[in-house]
A and B are shown apart, each in its own frame.
Chain A
């Protein structure tokens, strides 16, 4: 039962992604071609509200429902891994038109060919784990 709330949040996420067409390959193309505000509006609204909310959490030291402080761990400093890894991610995002969340929303929506995309995303994750020590970070 303690996981039910996460399932409900996932359902809201899936519906929001599908109903705003953020799971569409066409929308991702439109974004990368700078031909519509739609995707920028979705991400921009989330980030602006996110910045305000995170600042408020820090200012008022808001705690989570367990009573523990909400902490934001700083990500390790580097340029290489974020720029290289990010670019590889971006190549795949534009090609398949889906990042990991929208992949599974697409599967639920009935685009079963996304199962292939998701499976190979798992393979890609495995390859990263395999090669991690050899990659510049």
Chain B
């Protein structure tokens, strides 16, 4: 029984939980969209005085900030009470491809080459994390949503704009993976 909890959860169970979270948020009168929190934090920091986009009643979004805090706690609980710390079980083909780019086989959930403290304090390592975050933040607001808002909430409502956004997510992801990774790693 404990094994079922501590090993990797199956895709269908995790997918069903995410759908369940979306329905509970709808039932509670809200909707599932995580990246809105980025705009809310900007607004709560007082940036609405300078930029109109952040001048809105951010206090109506406190529920989502509480959801964000819950997500951090969830990550902590998963790490300390629900896992064995086994390396992520990705396919051999991916391990081989990433080896050629200079990444060692997984030793945990994240590659040390990008997320260890040594990597963070190197210029290239810092730039990778900073630019990655910058593009996620800029792109999600430009597209009006991220994976939760478009790929889950929007597609569940069969919205064409969300389908276009998801096509964009994959276009960008494939360009980064197949065209840019060989140049930078």
Contacts and interface: CB of A to CB of B under 8 A. Distances in A.
Count chain A CB atoms within 10 A of each CB in B129, B130, B132, B174 and give the residue with the most: B132
18 contacts: A14-B70, A20-B10, A26-B106, A36-B91, A41-B15, A43-B15, A50-B155, A57-B26, A82-B144, A88-B139, A91-B135, A92-B134, A92-B172, A94-B176, A101-B34, A101-B147, A113-B120, A125-B39
Contacts of B143: 81-82, 84-86, 88-89
Q: Report whether over half of chain A's contact residues are helix, strand or loop; otherwise say mixed.
A: helix
Nearest to B34: A101
Interface in B118-172: 119-120, 126, 128-144, 146-148, 150-162, 164-172
Given A14-B72, A44-B15, A99-B146, 18 more contacts: A6-B28, A9-B25, A10-B71, A10-B74, A11-B74, A16-B13, A16-B21, A19-B83, A36-B90, A38-B11, A41-B15, A43-B147, A83-B167, A83-B168, A92-B133, A92-B139, A117-B133, A120-B137
A130 B133 CA distance: 17
Contacts of B162: 75, 82
B159 A74 contact: yes
B93 A10 contact: no
Nearest to B35: A100
A24 B12 contact: no
Contact of A122 (B42, B109, B171): B42
Nearest to B41: A122
Interface in B11-37: 11-30, 34-35, 37
Interface in A19-54: 19-33, 35-47, 49-51, 53-54
A59 interface: no
A89 B144 contact: no
A126 to B, nearest CB: 5
Contact of B140 (A19, A79, A100, A104): A100
A135 B88 CA distance: 39
Interface string A99-137: 111011111111101101111111111111110100100
Contacts of A47: 19, 151-152, 155-156
A113 to B, nearest CB: 5
Contacts of A123: 133-134, 137
